[in-house]
Amino acid sequence: MIKLSSPSLGIDEYRAVERVLRSGQLVHGEECELFEQELARYLDCKEVIIVSSGTAALHLALVALGIGVGDAVLVPDFTFPATVNVVELVGARPILVDVDLHTYNITPENIQAAIDNWQGTEKVKAIMPVHEFGCPANMTEIMTIAKKHNLLVIEDAACGLGATHQGKKVGTFGQAGCFSFHPRKAITTGEGGAIVTNDAELAAKLRIWRNHGMRKAEQGIEFVLPGFNYRLTNFQAAMGRAQLVKFDGWLQVRSKLQQLYRQELAKTELLLPNELVGHAWQTFMVVLPQHVERSSVIARLKEMGIEASLGAQAVHCQPYYQQKYSEMCRMHQKNNAERLYIHGLALPHCQDYSIRDIQFVSQKIREILK
């Protein structure tokens, strides 16, 4: 079976984890601190706070930035729902924003329209752009809008490690950027995530919130906030460090494989994603013609030994949000996010796949679409 994705784990990762296990220092420790320093150098930012998951990173960023009850946050309608769930968890109101059909990202035009049309009682306080599947959002214009309206920007870069916008790494434009190290991501620590920022005061606050609200004191420790246990383990960090040194090479392979997909699928009815400069290609998703039923394509590919799946969700189609925000969800019916949710097809894509693998997958898709 050609899986949708597969984590790249080899002797370097095994040795790194074994080294930590033999040391007995399993919880947050030196490997975590080194991983933070190396990520900061890679991203060219001042502070990195590693945490237990990408969702924990998003949640912690909102909490530390003071977003909560009475606030509203602009979020893309097409995303893994964790982006929106964390807004709910802090008591704020999500405002769904439609995405571009070719980049899968929210657009500056749609963000501005959402701000102009907002009539709720909550105050719009932040924008959470997602770099969907590693495609860099237009951060230059998003930051201009944020500055104009005095809004915070929290980048959901869960899929975006290595992606750039105008030469600058995504995740480093806003007040905070959040990354994921889930096994579907190009770098994995099993579960894991990171918050990046250039604000030293915010970073200090994030570290306290991450670790039970605890800080060092003359008599040992004291608890100054009702914090969380969002720490990453030392052996997970060691795995991440072993992968980070290979990461740029992996990005090059992913880029070459997506180019091959384009060549192989160019003459089909599929809608292909935009090939933006700086794309990290965490996922390669195509959009099926509207008359083709995705479930049947997935089933036929499975029979041929190929795993495929939907790409991400349209938040307005999810039961929780339909029930709580019925009017907003009705307004978003039949938008781009819904089309991508219903007809998007994620194809096998990772640095360990060969040219022959991609050609085989492409050939079978062409056969199905005939």
Give residue 207's identity as a one-letter amino acid code.
R
Buried b / exposed e along 71-83 (16+ C-beta atoms within 10 A): bbbbbbbbbbbbb
Note if 3 is an active site residue.
Answer: no
Buried b / exposed e along 263-283 (16+ C-beta atoms within 10 A): ebbeebebbbbeebebbbbbb
The catalytically annotated residue of 185, 205, 302, 334 is 185
Cβ atoms within 10 A of the Cβ of 90, count?
A: 18
Q: Which residues, in sequence order, are CB contacts of 262 under 8 Å at separation 6+?
A: 272, 275
Q: Which residues, in sequence order, are CB contacts of 339 under 8 Å at separation 6+?
A: 101, 287, 290
Q: Look at the alpha carbons of 37, 38, 43, 48 in this order and tell me if their dihedral is positive or negative.
A: negative
Contact 48, 195 (CB under 8 A): yes
Positions marked catalytic: 185
